Structure 1
Amino acid sequence: MSVVDLRFLLEVFVTLFVIVDPPGTIPIFMALTNTMTGRQRSRAALVATGVGMLVIVGFAVFGQFILTYMHITLPALQFAGGLLLLLIALQLLTGKEGEMGASEGVNVALVPLGTPLLGGPGAIVAVMLFVHRSEAELSRVSGIALALLGIALMMYVFMRFSGIIARVLRDSGVTLVTRISGVLLSAISVQMIFDAVRSFLVGWGLVAP
């Protein structure tokens, strides 16, 4: 048996990449840190990445306990998550992903960069669903862990070198990547909603498993 399920790893990575949308964080990060020095920006990128991953991993580990405690079924979470991701996808497609600002006196690396921009509801729901699908298999759990490490690295790199990347991609390039992410995320969200509805129908005995 393979130590890492590469197909599952790729699925987790791609899903989280289009949800988090590292290229789309470039203009937001630059706008929120435009008064910082290079060293302060680097630290803000590191802190934001750490906070985002801490939130995601925390729900990945304790998410099932929270669902059980609150009597929430997985199909219900999947349906709600699909709707939520669809709203995020529509924001990406319509160019409204930047409609968030930092409150005065709040560390922008924590809010809104760390959460909800990076460690947001969409990423949290997606990771919880992947953890459930892994069924505690070592190869799939390893795939999730490596995918999260890869996403963390992408988060940091895109924010840390946002100025350079923005100059290379230019506004049109960043916009194009963001719109493509929106299309992919909308497809993922619709599939999640479809799977949730099918799970409900199976549970009610209306369709065969």
Structure 2
Amino acid sequence: MSDIVNLRLLTEVFITLFVIMDPPGIVPIFLGLTGAMTAKERHRAARQAVLVAAGVIVAFALFGQRLLDYMHISLPALQASGGLLLLLIALDLLTGKMEDPEAPKGNVNIAMVPLGTPLLAGPGAIVAAMLFVQRVDGSVADWLAIVVGFAGVVLCMWVAMRFAGVIMRILGESGTILVTRIAGLLLAAIAVQLVADAVTAFIQAA
């Protein structure tokens, strides 16, 4: 079996990306962002978010380093921008704008931003994927390990969001509002940590 797929690398890829992308942890944030949606719209948002996240990570894994070098963008800068974007979304969750059906949504599809990126396909997942690809020695077993490990995490993300609606029905309207507020707090903390890590990296590089 190890001749077909590198089991050690597969396990490392799956565990690393699963911990970084945290499919179970995305459930309360997903519920907060999609509270005003119908079940069908939530299912579509879950599918789109997973596809967007997978596409972004694959693109950066294959071409990310060259793109960042060409545009003279550092990884800390990418991390800081993602944190600031998440902070804006967190404020909307905390103030109740996300759950108001009459609130203007603009032209932004939340399945793409912020769910697809930077929540699922955030700086951590992007950097991890880029590093795994750089470690591949060209063997089919290594490439297959990365593909299977990544596909497993993507499947876990879809399952977590696909059945978030069941959790919503159990919680009810009041419970959903509570989860939304908690999600806003968690998302704000994630955003501040991303910015803080970026600032630390900038200082260390100076």
- TM bucket (normalised to shorter chain) is 0.5 to 0.7
Aligned-partner residue type, residue 115 of structure 2: L
Q: Give the TM-score taking structure 2 as reference length.
A: 0.65
Deviations 1:8-65 (A, max 9, x none): 1111111111111111111111111111111111100000001111100001111243
Checking the alignment, whether the CA contact within 8 Å between 2:46 and 2:162 is kept in structure 1 is yes
**Compared CA separation, residues 157 and 121, structure 1 to 2 (3 A):** same
Matches within 5 A, 1:91-110: 99=90, 101=92, 104-105=105-106, 106-110=108-112
Shift of 1:136: 2.4
Aligned-partner residue type, residue 53 of structure 2: G
**Compared CA separation, residues 128 and 100, structure 1 to 2 (3 A):** farther
Counterpart CA distance in 2 for 1:45 and 1:146 is 21
**Compared CA separation, residues 71 and 5, structure 1 to 2 (3 A):** farther
Checking the alignment, whether the CA contact within 8 Å between 2:42 and 2:165 is kept in structure 1 is no
Three-state SS of the structure 1 residue aligned to 2:166 is helix
Gapped regions of structure 2 (runs ≥ 5): 93-97, 99-103, 191-196
Counterpart residue number, 2:51: 50
Shift of 1:165: 5.5
1:28 pairs with 2:29: yes
Three-state SS of the structure 2 residue aligned to 1:36 is coil
Three-state SS of the structure 2 residue aligned to 1:115 is helix
Counterpart CA distance in 2 for 1:163 and 1:21 is 18
Counterpart CA distance in 2 for 1:71 and 1:135 is 27
Three-state SS of the structure 2 residue aligned to 1:65 is helix
Counterpart CA distance in 2 for 1:165 and 1:11 is 30
Counterpart CA distance in 2 for 1:132 and 1:49 is 24
Q: Tell me the number of residue pairs that the alignment of Structure 1 and Structure 2 aligns.
A: 164
